[in-house]
Amino acid sequence: MSTNREFFYRRLHSLLGVVPLGAYLIVHFMINYTATRGPEAYNQAAGFMGNMPFLLLMEFVLIYIPILFHGIYGLYIAFQARHNTSTYSYFRNWMFRLQRITGVITIIFIAWHVWDTRIQKAFGAEVNFDMMADIVANPIALTLYIISIIAATFHFANGLWSFAVTWGITVSHRSQRIATYVTLAVFLGMSYVGVAAILAFV
**Radius of gyration, CA atoms only, the chain:** 18
The predicted pLDDT at position 51 comes to 84
The predicted pLDDT at position 83 comes to 57
CATH number, domain at 26?
1.20.1300.10
The predicted pLDDT at position 84 comes to 58
Number of independent structural domains in the chain: 1
Range of the domain at 134: 3-199
Q: What pTM value is reported for the model?
A: 0.91
The predicted pLDDT at position 152 comes to 98
> What's the chain look like in SS3?
CCHHHHHHHHHHHHHHHHCCHHHHHHHHHHHHHHHHHCHHHHHHHHHHHHCCCCHHHHHHHHHHHHHHHHHHHHHHHHHHCCCCCCCCCCHHHHHHHHHHHHHHHHHHHHHHHHHHHHHHHHCCCCCCHHHHHHHHCCHHHHHHHHHHHHHHHHHHHHHHHHHHHHCCCCCCHHHHHHHHHHHHHHHHHHHHHHHHHHHCCC
The predicted pLDDT at position 82 comes to 65
Summarize pLDDT for 98-119 with one digit per residue, the tens: 999 999 999 999 999 999 999 9
Q: Judge whether 119 and 59 are in contact, CB under 8 Å.
A: no
Residue-wise pLDDT tens for the chain (202 aa)? Answer: 567 888 899 999 999 999 999 999 999 999 999 999 999 999 999 999 888 888 889 999 989 999 999 999 988 887 776 655 555 458 888 998 899 999 999 999 999 999 999 999 989 999 999 999 999 999 999 999 999 999 999 999 999 999 999 999 999 999 999 999 999 999 999 999 999 999 999 9
